[in-house]
Amino acid sequence: MDGDELPHVAVLVDTATGWGRRVVRGVIRYSDKHGPWHLTVEARGQAEALRLPPGWRGDGIIARITSKQMLRAMKATRLPVVNVSAVHLSNNCFPQVTTNYFESAALALQHFRDRGLVRFGYAGLPETDYGRRHRDAFVGVVEDAGYGCDVYTPSKTTATAGHAAQLKHKAAWLRSLPRPVGIFTWATTAGANLLEACRLARLSVPYEVAVLGGADDELLCDASWPSLSAINVPAEQIGHEAARSLDQMMREGRSPQPQLLLSPTGVVSRRSTDTLAIDDPDVVQALRVIRAKACGPIQISDILKVVPVSRSSLERKFRQALSRSPTEEIRRVRMAKAKSLLAETSMSMQEVADACGFATYNYLTRVFTNENGVTPREFRRSVQGR
């Protein structure tokens, strides 16, 4: 096909963040399979204006629409447009593909509870619509589980003050919290900022304050100290599904469903949450054994060789501390790794089963389907589009 005959699609997404680059990668993957498309992608930072190149003429647009000005500009093109931003704007007429914040919040709470934490906080972007919805989702799941959640709210003066004053105010809030505490934040920059406030407050991360970011940016999370744990949002899938929706609009002239919320694929655990806030030393030691050996041929008897208690006592202690049995914890760790490998690699199903401690792919399929309602292949297809 001649290059001029290809559909011309502009992707107006920042490329300075891991999220943006993965969204673009998802669009490229769809184009490679179902196109090809001629893609217009420009290097842009998150704070830079995202606009079409002067004189650009094309067939469709995938855009992160975050302002009324950009919304008006997209409407003025009279082209099919798919929005990949989480921002809710009045008079938005474009289909939206984004992350399900409520599922991210539930994952965050489970991640903290798996570490024995029972005190929680949130520090995000209260001045933005999407920041408030992200906060409210976490507060909601925490309260529904029977816990309380302290929310950081900048004062009117610190909200417009310099970086040092903002850190000082946040550090004072951190010192006021009962500890140990797990704090959920907005994306990587907010998490890194919170880690800096913890250092200013002389609070140990993760032992006094465990910090979890709302979206994983591998480079920036690894560059933080300690390295920042974060929710693995489905950015590449967002790009892929946005491209699928745009393709339908360009081919058929009709819009797909107005909003598609995609599930996060798990938590990328790093040092900022590498803690066990559990009083019982036997449970702590057993958890360390499970985390080290769960994906091998581990038996409960292997744990009891290290933890000098009876099996019934270990079961009782686990129930009291975590509301599940040692066997359920082994299965939970294996399942988390299986989801990660299915979402992020091209390993064969048997290779995934071997890596996660399942004897056969058929056994992995049975357990995975019972717990998740879909087969491993269906899960990978939903996340990777293949």
Task: Tell me: pLDDT of 45 over 80.
Answer: no
Secondary structure class of 352 (helix, strand, coil):
helix
Q: What is the mean pLDDT of the chain?
A: 90
Q: What is the mean pLDDT of residues 23-31?
A: 95
Integer CA distances (angstroms), 13 to 16, 18, 59, 135, 273, in order:
9, 11, 17, 24, 30
**Could you say which DSSP state residue 7 is in?**
P
Of 46-55, 91-100, 146-155, 354-363, where does mean pLDDT reach its minimum? 46-55
Token duo for residue 359: 């004897």
Q: How far apart are CA 368 and CA 318, in angstroms?
A: 23
The per-residue pLDDT for 307 is 92
Q: What is the mean pLDDT of residues 232-257?
A: 90
The per-residue pLDDT for 1 is 44
Q: How far apart are CA 339 and CA 258, in angstroms?
A: 28
Beta pairing partners, 82: 62
pLDDT tens across 328-385, in order? 999 988 998 898 888 878 899 999 999 999 989 899 999 999 988 889 998 888 777 5
DSSP notation for 364-376: HHHHHHHHHSS-H
pLDDT tens across 207-225, in order? 999 999 999 998 999 999 9
Residue 169 phi, psi (nearest 5):
-65, -40
Domain extent listing, the chain: 3-99+234-263, 101-232+268-273, 281-384
Q: What is the mean pLDDT of residues 63-91?
A: 91
The per-residue pLDDT for 159 is 64
DSSP notation for 267-316: EE--GGG-----S-HHHHHHHHHHHHHTTSS--HHHHHTTS-S-HHHHHH
Residue 288's pLDDT band, with cuts at 50, 70 and 90, is confident
Residue 9's pLDDT band, with cuts at 50, 70 and 90, is very high
Residue 198 phi, psi (nearest 5):
-65, -40
Number of H helices, E strands in the chain: 15, 12
Fold equal for 3-99+234-263 and 101-232+268-273: yes
Residues 6 or more apart whose CB falls under 8 angstroms from that of 292 comprise none
Hey, CA dihedral for 357, 359, 364, 370, is it positive or negative? Answer: negative
Q: Are 206 and 198 in contact (CB under 8 A)?
A: no
Q: How many CB atoms lie within 10 A of CB 166?
A: 17
Architecture of domain 3-99+234-263: 3-Layer(aba) Sandwich (3.40)
Q: How far apart are CA 261 and CA 202, in angstroms?
A: 39
Q: How far apart are CA 309 and CA 330, in angstroms?
A: 18
Q: What is the mean pLDDT of residues 121-132?
A: 87
In the chain, the percentage of residues whose pLDDT exceeds 90 is: 64
The per-residue pLDDT for 156 is 74
Q: What is the mean pLDDT of residues 248-271?
A: 88
253 vs 274, more confident: 274
Q: What is the CATH number of domain 101-232+268-273?
A: 3.40.50.2300
Which residue, among 229, 358, 376, has the nearest Cα to 294 in the 3D structure?
A: 358
The per-residue pLDDT for 86 is 87
Residue 2's pLDDT band, with cuts at 50, 70 and 90, is very low
Which residue, among 155, 164, 152, has the nearest Cα to 191 in the 3D structure?
A: 152
The per-residue pLDDT for 12 is 95
Q: How far apart are CA 302 and CA 289, in angstroms?
A: 9
Token duo for residue 2: 């001649």
Task: Tell me: pLDDT of 176 over 80.
Answer: yes
Task: Tell me: pLDDT of 190 over 80.
Answer: yes
For the chain, the first-to-last Cα distance in angstroms comes to 25
Task: Tell me: pLDDT of 386 over 60.
Answer: no
Q: Are 312 and 282 in contact (CB under 8 A)?
A: no
Q: What is the mean pLDDT of residues 318-332?
A: 89
Q: What is the pTM of this model?
A: 0.83
Q: What is the CATH number of domain 281-384?
A: 1.10.10.60
Q: Are 206 and 226 in contact (CB under 8 A)?
A: yes
